[in-house]
Structure formats: structure tokens, C-alpha cells
Amino acid sequence: MPTMIPQSSAQEDLSSNSTANTPYYTAPINPSLHQDFLNAIQARHATQPTVLISPSNERLSPMAGFNLSMDSLASRRHPPTSAVATTTTTTSNSPLKPIEAVSLNQMLDKYKESNSLLVLDVRSFVQYSHSRIRGSINVSIPNTILKRPTFTLDKVYEAIVLDHARERLRAWEAAECIVFYDQQSQRLLDNSASAYLGAKLIHAGFKGQLYFLKGGFDAFASTFKDCCESNETHPQPTASFGPPTIGGGNFSLNLPQKGARPKLRLNNLPAVAPSLGPFTAPMPQFENQAFNPFFSNIRQNMELSHGPIRERFPIRLPSKCNVDPNDHDQVELVDNTRPRCTAGSHVNGKAFKGPSWLQRTIQQNGAQILAETYEKLERTEQRRLQNIMHFHSKHTDNPAEYPFSIVAGIEMGALNRYTNIWPFEYTRVKIRDHKVSDYINASYVQYIDSEECASDARPEQLNTQCVNIMKECPVKNTQPYRRYISTQGPLPATFNDFWQVVWEQNSRVLVMLTKEEEMHKIKCHRYWPSNLNSPTQYGDLVVTLVSETTQKINRHNLQQPLHEDDVVIVRQLSVTRGPASRQVTHLQYTGWMDFGVPDNPLGTLQIIQMADSAQEACSKEGAVGPMIVHCSAGCGRSGAFCAIDTVLYRLRHAESTSSHDILLQTISRFREQRVSMVQTLRQFVFCYEAVWWWFLGYGIDDFSENNKMDTSL
């Protein structure tokens, strides 16, 4: 039995009309602990001074490097260009003019009896709630969201926590002057919250003057303390069963004791509640609530805050294959159905019985069983993520040594497509030949047999056998099950890193489970060449698109219309580095929309077969690396693909009957290796549907010889 290491005890889009007024509560956790967690990131940063050094030549505070943005971080990862070099200079044509603290103080006195002056605080809500310029309004929204043209002022209003402040901001047209301030910036950055908000106001028709405060709050507060307000410090309770709230009226905020060590500012952590799933939409506003920047960003804290999961999704079987009304454990077969029989399944005349763990999913209460099972999976992950912060609040010296650490993902936030999908340290794929940082948002994923069933294991404990095996992933593979690399859809700033990983890992098959754009939102940027036989440089590598074909999904005579998007696009790519060249197969399935599931599992089963076929073909030529799988965030659809593929392998190679739910085992193990693998209840049920369809003879083996891929160049 593997030894167990005890831990410290203790994340696509959200529609605008969702539960905006529902009370939100996190687990019973001291609301100030997140500061210690952020200090753990700072401790890791201290040993890597080149990673987060500001490109500015002026002397900055030790915290300034944490004001990350996509542009500034990208400029430090790739050779600088003249265009990038301007990111830290004041824009000469900027509508925001600098204003000194003295001048702002005079304006506050001049306009104190009118609504002609708006002062906007763009710092985090925690900083604002601690101390602020009197009368200022807090607008704390991640820059990656503010920069989007689709994030209009109406959506900015929704992110304002306090009602009266929201209404004051709505009345911006009556203002003659609007002043923005952060903590201590001496100059306006093109990619700052102040610049983005100012541009939105100008676009909306603001005719007055916009300013940014030189030196920020620090400069103003050091001279004009009487014009600032702050909350008094209160003793910390032993536990808090709700998030901290701001002082005044019905609000109160528990704050760290005076004299505590400096707090780390991390602007790309949200200060309000997260979206459901990866952070791609404005976060909903909750009245009279303020949020812990870390816990509010855990997807399950939002989704499970309203009680048990109430959705129910019954298993969808192929047409004419119905559950036997006299025996709910078996499925009636049509004449042309040829089910597959593995250990634990058998055909009984015109009926088929699957393994016992699969039978329960089609029983009368099957939908409820699946929902309750998924909820247990979600709460386990919720506790695991909460325990991460508990650990870091007590151990800040070497946070990266903790296997479940996510400080690398938090620290390098500008390289993440979403703000709540982070790789665990022990499964994190690391770039070997790097100039600045080894970070990429990618995780090794592989099923590992263990004495401790993952679905029953306490998240407060680590299975050292699994940890050690996954740490060996870059060197050797001792497990019989396939190893994957699950990653996010590459960003323009990470294209070079992505192809570097493809080369270093010797990966020959790339599986893409998303369109580039869905519902008018970019889900993945095009990281491969668009034109045939046109070499494209990605860092030290040259990638050439050799061929591109489209294959329709085999419908198996189902009486369903063929959707034009339900196809697999097959691309053959040549990747070269100096004299060396490799062939890579790129498979893109476009029939699976974000957060939803396909109409049936046929397309998923087909791309699984195609990926298997391509991987096996490459393996005949020698050792090849892990298959790389991605969707948009690299967890929902990617998790389902990896789970289904692994379970089908386990079923084909099972030597004995097992009563254990091997699909649940697999997903649970994957969630220990990357957050939110199989992200929604609907995706969870879809995985069971795919296994049912495979048992009933659909997909894979019926993929005709004429349609098999030609993987030769």
C-alpha cells in the first residue's frame, strides 16, 4: 500500500442573467489567509529575479513586477522589438493626463459639493477596502477582461460591488473630470486598467477631462491622510462562514493586524465572483458581498454555493436501442446491432447487459445517481483547491516543492487563457530549453492504478505512489495506460512555447476539440500555418502545413440530419529544427461546442480512433511522446476525450470483471493531475454515453478501411 502524506487540514461563460442576487459563501476559512497564499508566490518569485523584472528603466518597488499583463510578459519571453519596447512608456496621444497629488486634493475641495468629479480606484477590492481616497469608486476588473471591446461600460457597472457606487459611475456623463489611480504607478501604461477604462469612456462619448494620479494612492495618502479613509483593524475570528465585506453601514471587513508583512498585489486575480468554468465572461455581481480573491475564483465555490446539484441528465442511447422495460439493467437490441462483449458484459438473446457499474446509469434513478456522483467529484476538488491555500498560508519557503502547488500558474497568470485553470506543480509540463521561464499551462495526464481508489481518497492526502510516477513522466513511462499532455488552446504569446513543447516531448499527434471561435468568442488562436507549403517560423522551429482534408462523421445509418460542423479536419504538419524534421498529425473535431456536448458520441469515438491510429502508426517508427490534447481551457472537453480513450483501453484489456466504476476512477485520477478535468455534469454524463455506444457496437471498429487516415507525407 502506498504511503500517504497528510496535507494541511482545512474553473466557460456565464450569461448575464444568472443568479446575480444569490448570496455567495465560501468554505469556513479565515478571510485574511489569501494574503499568505499570495506571499507564497512572492517567495517563489524571489528565487527567480529574471522572470518578473519590469522592463522599465525607472526604479520600481519590489511588488511592481507583479502587475502582469499579456503584453508585458510576452515581451519578456520573446526577443524585444520596437513595437514591444513602447509598452511601458506614456502614450503621447493618451486622453489621460497626469495629475499630481496636490492638484487632485484641490479638485476634491473644489467639487466636494457636486457630482462633477469622479475618482476611480482600479486597485483590488481588498486594497480598496483597507484604505482609499474618500469618495472614490472601486473598479476592480482583470485587465485581460477590460481590454476586450465587447466588455462594455454596462458590463463594468455589473462588476461594481456597492449599489450607490454603481449608480454614481452610471452618472459619468455629468462629470467634468474623472481621475484614475492605482497603488503607486508613476506613469500610465498602455495596457493598464486606467487606460482601458479611459478608452471605454471616450468611446461612450465622455467630453470631459481624464486624469491618472501620478504615484497612485501611496503618493496621495502620504501627503493628504485627512482626505483618505480606512477601516479599523479588528481581531480575526477563528473561522468565517462567509466572505469578507467592506466597512460602513451593513458592512464590516476583517483585516490583518497592523505591522503585518507587506501584502502582495496580484492584479490578475479577480476581486469578485468568478464565471462558471474558465473565466471568459464578466463575473456576476452580488449585492452586499465582497470576495476573497482566491476562493472566489474557484469554480466550485460558485456552482456549489446554492446547495446540491439539481440538474438531471438521463443517458441517451442509440435510436431503437431502448432500456428493457422488464429489466432496467439491460438494453434491447435491434437486428443489426452487434454489441461488444468484454469482462463483465454479455448478450442475452436480444438484450445486452453491460458491466454492473454501467448498468446502474440506465436504471430508473440513473440520472440521479450520476448527478450525485458528479457532485461528490466536485466537492472533492473544491476541498483540494481550498487545502492548497491552507498549505501555502503555513509553508511559504519552498512552495514549488508541494506537489499540488499552483503558484507557478498564478505567478505567470498572463500566460493563462483563463484565470482559474492552473497546472499542479507535480504534473506541470516544463519547457526544458527556455530563456526566461519554463512555464506553460499544460499538464501530464495518465491513469495510474493504485490501492487507494481516487474517488474515495480524501483530498487532504497525497498518494505518494501517484506523485512519484507523475514526477517521472518527463523521463520514463512505466504505466500501461496512455500518457497525454492536456493543455489550453495556445495564445499568440505562447505559440512558440507550444511548438517548443511539441518538439521537446516528441509528440506526433495533436488533438484539437474546439473551433477557433464559438458564440462570437475566441476559444483558441490559430497556432499553425494557414497556407499549404508555406513554412512559418515559431521560435527556433519551422512548421509547414503539408496537407489538410475534412472527414465527415460516420452516422451508422442513424435517422439524424448531418450537421455541417460535425467533422474532423485532418492536417499533416512538418516540424523542422535545423536539419531534423518530424511529421505531426493535427486532428480538429469541430462538432463539440464549449460547455455542451455533441448530439451523440459518434464524432468523439471517431476522433479517438483516428488519434489512436495516428499514434500507433508513429510508434512503429520508434518511441514517440505523449499525445497532446487541447480544447479552450484544456480541462472540459480535453478531460472527456482522455477519460473515454483511457476507459475504452481498460475495457479492451480487462482480464477480469470489476465492480468498480472504472470511468469514475479514471476521471477522479485525472482531476488529481489537472483541475476540472471533465468540467460539467453534462460532460460527465456524456462520457458514460460514449462508453454505452461503444459497447452497443458504434464507433471505432466500424470505422471503415476506406476512411482510415493516411499518415504518410
Which residue, among 675, 673, 618, 682, has the nearest Cα to 646 in the 3D structure? 673
On whether both 405 and 550 belong to a single domain, the answer is yes
CA distances (Å), 559 to each of 335, 336, 489, 562, 607, in order? 16, 14, 34, 9, 21
Q: Which domain holds residue 450?
A: 360-703
Residue 636: strand, helix, or coil: helix
Please answer whether residues 296 and 243 qualify as being in contact, where contact means their C-beta atoms are separated by less than 8 angstroms. Answer: yes
pLDDT higher than 60, residue 450: yes
Whether 292 and 364 share a structural domain: no
Q: What is the pLDDT of residue 560?
A: 64
Among 81-85, 210-214, 391-395, the range of highest mean pLDDT: 210-214
Q: Would you place residue 701 in the very low, low, confident or very high pLDDT band (cuts 50, 70, 90)?
A: low
Last residue within a domain, chosen from 254, 284, 303 = 303
Which one of 303, 321, 348 terminates a domain? Answer: 303
- Alpha helix positions (H), 269-365: 299-303, 356-359
pLDDT of residue 555: 80
Domain containing residue 47: CATH number: 3.40.250.10
pLDDT at position 361: 95
Do 456 and 590 share a structural domain?
A: yes
- pLDDT above 60 for 374: yes
Residue 344 covered by a domain: no
Helices within 580-678 (DSSP H only): 602-619, 636-652, 662-671
Strand residues in 17-130 grouped as ranges (E)? 96-99, 117-121
Q: Show the 3-state SS of 174-185.
A: HCCEEEEECCCC
In a domain, 271, yes or no: yes
Both 268 and 374 in one domain: the answer is no
Alpha helix (H) ranges present in 490-556?
495-504
The Cα 342–Cα 465 span in angstroms is: 29
Q: What pLDDT band is residue 2 in, cutting at 50, 70 and 90?
A: very low
Q: Do residue 240 and residue 378 come from a single domain?
A: no
Q: Which element (helix H / strand E) includes 168?
A: helix 163-170
* Residue 520 shares a structural domain with residue 379: yes
Boundary-marking domain end, from 303, 329, 346: 303
The amino acid present at 295, given as its one-letter code, is F
- Is the pLDDT at 233 greater than 60? The verdict is no
Q: Is residue 406 part of a domain?
A: yes
Q: Which amino acid is at 170?
A: R
Assess if residue 334 is contained within a domain: no
Strands (E), 349-421: 351-353
pLDDT digits (tens, 9 = 90+) for 287-346: 333 334 556 678 888 788 778 999 999 999 998 788 988 888 889 887 677 888 887 788
Residue 310, Cβ density class (10 Å: 0-12 exposed, 13-18 middle, ≥19 buried):
exposed
Same domain, 281 and 418: no
Which helix (H) or strand (E) element contains residue 517?
strand 517-518
Residues whose CB is less than 8 angstroms from the CB of residue 335 and which lie 6 or more positions away in sequence, other chains included: none
Give the pLDDT of residue 615: 96
Q: Is residue 316 part of a domain?
A: no
Name the β-bridge partners of 120: 137, 180
Does 286 score more than 60 pLDDT? no
Grid coordinates given for 546: 503539408
Residue 117 and residue 238 share a domain: yes
Share of the chain above pLDDT 70, in %: 71
Of the candidates 209, 214, 187, which has an alpha carbon nearest to the alpha carbon of residue 198?
A: 209
Gap between the Cα atoms of 595 and 680, Å rounded: 7
What is the domain-level CATH number for residue 556?
3.90.190.10
Query: 584 and 666 share a domain?
Result: yes
Q: Comparing 698 with 561, which gets the higher pLDDT?
A: 698
pLDDT tens readout for residues 455-511 = 444 555 678 888 888 988 887 777 899 999 999 999 999 999 999 999 999 999 999
The type of residue at 284 is: P
Cβ–Cβ under 8 Å, residues 636 and 678: yes
pLDDT of 127 above 70: yes
The mean pLDDT of 409-422, rounded to a whole number, is 86
Q: Is the model's pLDDT at 12 over the cut of 60?
A: no
pLDDT in tens, 576-631: 999 999 999 999 999 998 778 999 999 999 999 999 999 999 988 888 999 999 99
pLDDT at position 151, please? 80
* 298 and 394 assigned to the same domain: no
Tally the domains of the chain.
2
Q: What is the mean pLDDT of residues 549-567?
A: 79
Percent of the chain with pLDDT over 90: 45
What pLDDT shows up at residue 332?
Answer: 87
Q: Has residue 561 been placed in a domain?
A: yes
357: phi then psi, degrees, rounded to nearest 5: -70, -25
Cβ–Cβ < 8 Å for 150, 281: no
For 143-198, the pLDDT digits (tens) are 767 777 878 898 888 777 677 888 999 999 999 999 999 988 888 988 888 999 99
Look at residue 240 and tell me whether its pLDDT is greater than 70: no
With helix as H, strand as E and coil as C, how does 267-289 read?
CCCCCCCCCCCCCCCCCCCCCCC
pLDDT tier for residue 99 given thresholds of 50, 70 and 90: very high
Q: What is the pLDDT of residues 57-81, one digit of tens each?
A: 333 333 333 333 333 344 445 444 3
Using DSSP's 3-state secondary structure scheme, residue 687 falls into helix
More confident residue, 2 or 634: 634
Residues 283 and 401 grouped into a single domain: no
The reply to whether 314 falls in a domain is no
Choose among 468, 420, 481: nearest CA to 633: 420
Of 538, 600, 611, residue with least CA distance to 568: 611
Band of the pLDDT at 231, cuts 50, 70, 90? low
For the four alpha carbons of 384, 389, 392 and 393, in that order, the dihedral sign comes to negative
Residues 633 and 496 in one domain: yes
Residues 348 and 362 sit within 8 Å (Cβ to Cβ): no
Residue 27 within any structural domain of the chain: no
- CA–CA separation, 368 vs 364, rounded Å? 9
Helix, strand, coil in percent for the chain, rounding step 5: 35, 15, 50
Taking the mean position of all CA atoms in its chain, how far away is CA 96?
33
23 has a pLDDT exceeding 70: no
Average model confidence (pLDDT) across the chain: 76
Q: Residue 710, exposed/middle/buried by CB under 10 A (0-12, 13-18, 19+)?
A: exposed
Q: What would the mean pLDDT of 19-29 be, rounded to a whole number? A: 29
pLDDT at 141: 80
